[in-house]
Amino acid sequence: MSAVPGLQKDCEALLGAFQEADTVRFERFAELWRERRFHTVFHGRMRALERNKITKKTLELAQQYFLPPYAFQIRVGALYLLYGLYNTQLCQPKIKLNYRTKKRIEENECKEEFKDPSNRVSSLITNDALEELMNIHEHYQKMKCAISADKSQPDKALSLIKDEFVVSLKDIALEHQEWQQKRLKLLLKAKEADEMPDSMEEGTSLNSEGSERADALARIKRKSYSAVVEASRSRRHRQVMLESSESGSDYGKSPRQSEMRAGKETVTHCVGMPVITEEDSSDTEVVPNPHHYPQTLALNPVNFIPILKGQILAISTQATVQNPDCFTPYFSPKFLLFTYKNSVPNLPAFTPNCSPESSLIGHKLRSL
Amino acid sequence: MAAEAAEYEAGEPHTRVFRVGALGSGWRQCLQPRDLSLAEEEEEEEAAEAVAEELGCTVETAAELRALCSADALGSADQERDPEAIPEDSGLETLRFRKKALQRREERIVVDRACRQETLTYEMESHAVGKRPDDAADLVEEGELLLTLNIFYPVIFQKHKEHKPYQTVLVLGSQKLTELRDSVSCVSDLQIGGEFSSEPDRAPEHISKDLYKSAFFYFEGIFYNDSRYPECRDLSRTIIEWSESRDRGYGNLQSVKMEDYTFSDLSLRIGFPYLFCHQGDCEHIVIVTDIRLIHHEDCLDRNLYPLLTKKHWLCTRKCFVCKMYTARWVTNKDSLAPEDPCFFCDVCFRMLHYDAEGNKLGDFLAYPYVDPGIFN
């Protein structure tokens, strides 16, 4: 189905304005809608069949913004947009919303700014990956012990892996995340202090999924609830008082939902660290990166990989002391996993001049 | 329950497997009776009370909320303005493009009215909407599930490589699979087998539909075979034996009876292609595109379901001679015809190939022909 020309631009303009308004109040959305007289999007002379088709396509387009990977605010805006479009449509009987609309949602159609920031590091070092690493490592250790002289621990030549490398890997990921959160807080504080107009854009480019989203949610909530609507004169006596406790059922569910969804992937989950943190942001000094990383570069998660590489290099250099052939400059965690997986069941024969470990790795590297 | 229900935010073209009935009962649990009701729109006071109850606030607050969030807030002040006219000073891109297109159309098109196909399509979509049965027993139940299925045509034309034509059918969750099977109209059901050049008058009455009654649906590893008649055979047995003969990685394929299952009993994915096979080798792809609860604006007459809402228009092949009537005969190796195969209507066929006494003239093979466009 071809798109309705100009519709995407109009929707994105409206949702963009809603995002800038930095609220989730329907009233604000309704104001923006009325400004643009958005209900006229269905106007124009057309026969019944064409009207049906165009209405259907309009609703489908709006529905796309309601699904992930869009940010929470955009999704709320999309919900209001759907509500508005559904109720102002001219078709009789009304066109309903489909459970599934497009079969393929094109990647390049999504507007970058609306996307929820993703945390690639956390998605790389997930709980599952760590668990698997640990399991395989244990298995491997057992095999090494089995073929060693002393059954309780592997031979000196075989024991080259730091036993706690999984734990240290997890710690690194945790530290990085903590550092990112602190950095984000600093930025937000700076924004509130200086009222930087483009902080929203900057905010979306930082990478820290769960807690950033939660922080954003808490912020929006606070702002919405503190903005009390002043009732019209006739209803002044019914002026709503600002409540201290957050009882709004509209938003009450969402932090929990985002926590559940975020908790699935972040490493923090397994250590029991709370995803939603209400930390007292009193640190105004420059937050030092635990690994002395230059601040500007740290925004890009790809730069995190060198830290990881450093740790793994430490492991691999021990292996390669005996056999320099199999040294590789880059060792991703997934690759590590792969080599372990493939090497555990078939231990090749020993060669006198290099350790089984390095020959294993070398063997796998050469066969790839 | 959570494992059974579908996810709403799947990234792939289709969802994961879930039980249709579970989805329905899940929704029914969450919704209030007034949401499921098939009556017309509700009263104002009742609505405010319902909102108050759900949010746990006072009725006054609920009324205020309703006023604030009402859809009226989104309409314009001048509701009476003609929706056909595009406002002059609109800032919307959509309207700018639409205005241009309309102007272009006015300049170019001499007569602007709906063609037959458009009328047919519109009629099909909307003819049953809002229909209520005379007999209350035929009324669709509240909370009934409505599934939308796309059944693709088996015809493989060159021009259908990109977009395969299909028909859209609405079925109720409580309907049996056999009801859908009976409602599918496929041209292969009407075929008459046999060569009849020597006795054109004796083309038999039996169409394939009566002779070969077997059929099956395939959903998620289970073959649902039609076994209502003694002539029905288990067409899926061959496939199951083939998959079990070696480790082909298909898992356990089962075979059950079609008439024992309703759509609510099925486990399936939305957007995933499944199969309907009849006449031994006539295969239709079936895709479920939508599942929702029945709404008071839908067709509420049970007897009209499965309801056909969309059909692909197939051009009928006309007789080669008169080019007026639909072809009823096709000939091969015909010395009297200019091309092979050649299509004729009944009258032209007899006039050309038989003399006044009914003797066969010339050399040819003749088969009765059923055009795919017969269902237009």
Longest dimension (CA), chain A: 95
Position with higher pLDDT, A289 vs A13: A13
List the structure tokens of B131. 């229909």
- Asked if residue B327 and residue B301 are part of one domain, the reply reads no
Note whether A94 contacts B: Cβ–Cβ < 8 A: yes
Place of tokens 């106007």: A43
Residue B95 lies in a domain: no
Secondary structure element (H or E) that encloses residue B34, with its range: helix B33-36
Q: Lowest-pLDDT range, A266-275, A285-294, B194-203, B323-332?
A: A266-275
pLDDT digits (tens, 9 = 90+) for B183-197: 998 888 888 888 888
Task: Assign B222 to helix, strand or coil.
Answer: strand
Does residue A364 form part of some domain?
Answer: no
Using only the alpha carbons of chain B, give its radius of gyration.
Answer: 27
Do residue A100 and residue B60 have CB atoms under 8 angstroms apart? no
Lowest mean pLDDT among A49-53, B54-58, B193-197, B320-324: B54-58
A30 and B CB contact within 8 Å: yes
Set of chain B residues whose Cβ sits within 8 Å of the Cβ of A238: 60, 64
Q: Are residues B131 and B167 in the same domain?
A: yes
Q: Is residue B68 part of a domain?
A: no
Mean pLDDT comparison of A34-48, A92-106, A286-300, highest-scoring range: A34-48
Amino acid, single-letter form, for residue B306: P
Q: Please report whether residue A139 resides in a domain.
A: yes
Together in a domain, B355 and B306: no
Domain boundary among B311, B343, B360: B311
Cβ contacts (< 8 Å) between A103 and chain B: which residues?
13, 271
Domain assignment of residue B183, yes or no:
yes
Please tell me the predicted confidence (pLDDT) of residue A204. Answer: 41
Residue of B nearest to A7 (CA): B94
Confidence (pLDDT) at B175: 93
Q: Of B74, B121, B270, which is closest to A100 when you measure between CB atoms?
A: B270
The DSSP output letter for A235 is G
CA torsion angle B33 B34 B38 B43 (round to 10): 160
Residue A142 lies in a domain: yes
**Rounded distance between C-alpha atoms, residue A97 and residue A56, angstroms:** 8
Do the domain assignments include residue A290?
A: no
Instruction: Determine the Cα–Cα distance for residues A306 and B180; give it in Å rounded to an integer.
Output: 60
User: Count of residues for chain B?
Assistant: 376
ipTM: 0.74
In a domain, A175, yes or no: yes
Q: What would the pLDDT profile of B66-89 be if each residue is shown by its tens digit?
A: 777 777 777 755 555 677 888 888
Distance between A122 CA and the closest CA of chain B, angstroms: 20
Query: Hey, are the CB atoms on B125 and A40 less than 8 Å from each other?
Result: no
Nearest-angstrom CA–CA distance, A315 and A109: 43
Mutate to test the interface with B, among A99, A110, A257 (most CBs of B within 10 A): A99
**Residue range of the domain that includes B371:** 314-375
Residue A308 has what pLDDT? Answer: 45
Residue B248 clears pLDDT 90, i.e. is over it: no
In this prediction, residue B2 has a pLDDT band, given cuts at 50, 70 and 90, of very low
Residue B308, pLDDT score: 92
| Domain finish residue from B311, B340, B362 | B311
Task: Please tell me the predicted confidence (pLDDT) of residue A131.
Answer: 86
Lowest mean pLDDT among A362-366, B54-58, B266-270: A362-366
Q: Check residue B194 and give its pLDDT.
A: 82
CA distance to partner chain A, nearest, from residue B320 (Å): 35
Are residues B137 and B281 both part of a single domain?
yes
Which of A151-165, A300-314, B145-159 shows the lowest mean pLDDT across its residues? A300-314
Angle (nearest 5°) at CA B326 between B324 and B327? 115
Residue that is last in its domain, among A40, A70, A88:
A88
The per-residue DSSP string of A312-349 comes to: HHHHHHHHHTT-GGG--S---HHHHHHHHHHHTT-PPP
Q: What pLDDT, on a 0 to 100 scale, did the predictor assign at position A147?
A: 85
Strand order in the sheet with B222-225: B254-257, B222-225, B215-219, B273-278, B282-293, B145-152, B166-172, B307-310
Residues A58-100: tens digit of each pLDDT: 998 898 888 877 888 899 999 999 999 998 888 888 888 776 5
Print the domain residue range for A132: 120-190
Q: What percent of chain B lies above the pLDDT cut of 90?
A: 24
Asked if B114 lies within 8 A of A37 by C-beta distance, the reply is no
**A290-314 mean pLDDT:** 42
**Residue B110 CB neighbours (<10 A):** 4
Domain co-membership, B165 together with B245: yes
In this complex, do B60 and A238 lie within 8 Å of one another by their Cβ atoms? yes
User: Where does a domain end: A41, A65, A88?
Assistant: A88
Q: How far apart are CA B148 and CA B122, in angstroms?
A: 17
CA distances from A190 to A193, A204, A283 (A): 5, 15, 11
3-state secondary structure of B272: coil
What value does the mean pLDDT of chain A take? Answer: 64
Q: Write down the pLDDT at residue A15.
A: 92
Q: Are residues B175 and B145 in the same domain?
A: yes
All residues of chain B having their beta carbon less than 8 Å from the beta carbon of residue A43 are 83-87, 95
Q: Flag whether A154 is in a domain.
A: yes
Structural domain ending residue among the three candidates B285, B311, B337 = B311
What H or E segment, with its residue span, contains residue B95? helix B93-108
Distance of alpha carbon A170 from alpha carbon A266, whole angstroms: 11
Give yes or no for a cis peptide into A333 (omega within 30° of 0): no
Same domain? B294 vs B355: no
**Contact status, residue B169 vs residue B319, Cβ threshold 8 Å:** no
Cβ within 8 Å, pair B74-A52: no
Q: Give the pLDDT of residue A226.
A: 58
Residues A28 and A82 in one domain: yes
Render A51-114 in DSSP notation, one character per residue: HHHHHHHHHHHHHHTTSTTB-HHHHHHHHHHHHHHHHH---SSPPPPPSS--SS--GGGS-GGG
Q: Verify that B243 and B320 share a domain, yes or no.
A: no
pLDDT of residue B77: 54
Q: Are B367 and B179 in contact (CB under 8 A)?
A: no
pLDDT band at B63 (very low <50, low <70, confident <90, very high): confident
Q: What is the pLDDT of residue B168?
A: 93
Model pLDDT, residue A120: 67
Distant-in-sequence, close-in-space partners of A203: CB < 8 Å, separation ≥ 6: A117, A184, A187, A188, A191, A212, A216
Locate all alpha helices (DSSP H) within A195-303, ordered by sequence: 199-205, 209-226, 249-265, 268-271
Same domain, B136 and B237: yes
- Are the beta carbons of B68 and A238 separated by less than 8 Å? no
Q: What's the confidence (pLDDT) of residue B342?
A: 93
Reduce the DSSP state of residue B23 to 3 states and report it.
helix
- What does the pLDDT read at residue B277? 92
Q: Same domain for A76 and A134?
A: no
> pLDDT tens-digit profile of B197-234?
888 787 777 777 788 889 999 999 999 999 998 888 88
Q: β-strand B254-257 against B222-225: which pairing, if any?
A: parallel
Decide if B136 contacts B267 (C-beta within 8 A): no
CATH of residue B191's domain is 3.10.290
Give the mean model confidence (pLDDT) for residues B345-350. 91
Higher-pLDDT residue of B11 and B90 is B90
Residues found in chain A: 368
Domain assignment present for B213: yes
Question: Is A266's pLDDT higher than 70?
Answer: no
- Are residues B357 and B212 located together in one domain of the fold? no
Closest Cβ–Cβ partner in B96, B291, B295 for A6 = B96
Residue B3 lies in a domain: no
pLDDT tens profile A128-185: 888 888 888 888 888 888 888 877 777 777 777 777 888 888 888 888 888 877 876 7
Which of A138, A161, A190 delimits the end of a domain? A190
Task: Say how far apart CA B350 and CA A98 lie, in whole Å.
Answer: 53
- Residues B159, B246 within the same domain: yes
- Answer yes or no: is pLDDT of A198 > 60: no
pLDDT category at B318 given cuts 50, 70, 90 is very high
Q: Could you tell me if residue A281 is inside a domain?
A: no
Alpha-carbon span B118 to B132, nearest angstrom:
26
Residue B268 covered by a domain: yes
Share above pLDDT 70 across residues of chain B, in percent, rounded to a whole number: 91
The whole-angstrom distance between residue B100's C-alpha and the CA centroid of its chain comes to 35
Looking at the fold, whether B282 and B305 belong to one and the same domain comes out as: yes
Residue B172: φ, ψ to 5°: -90, 150
With both helix axes pointing from N to C terminus, report the angle between B44-55 and B59-69 in degrees, rounded to the nearest 10: 110
Provide the pLDDT for residue A236: 53
Q: What is the pLDDT of residue B125?
A: 86
Based on the domain organization, do A138 and A80 belong to the same domain? Answer: no
Q: Residue A73 falls within a domain, yes or no?
A: yes
Does residue B165 fall inside a structural domain? yes
Specify the number of domains making up chain B. 2
pLDDT of residue B361 exceeding 90, the answer is no
Is the pLDDT at A4 greater than 70? The verdict is yes
**3-state SS assignment for residue B158:** helix
Residue A11's pLDDT band, with cuts at 50, 70 and 90, is very high
Q: For residues B133 and B150, give the distance between their C-alpha atoms in angstroms, rounded to a whole number.
A: 26
Instruction: Report residue B330: phi and psi, to 5°.
Output: -130, 135
Is B219 inside any structural domain?
Answer: yes
pLDDT of residue A233: 53
Q: Lowest mean pLDDT: which of A40-49, A275-284, B121-130?
A: A275-284
Overall number of domains in chain A: 2
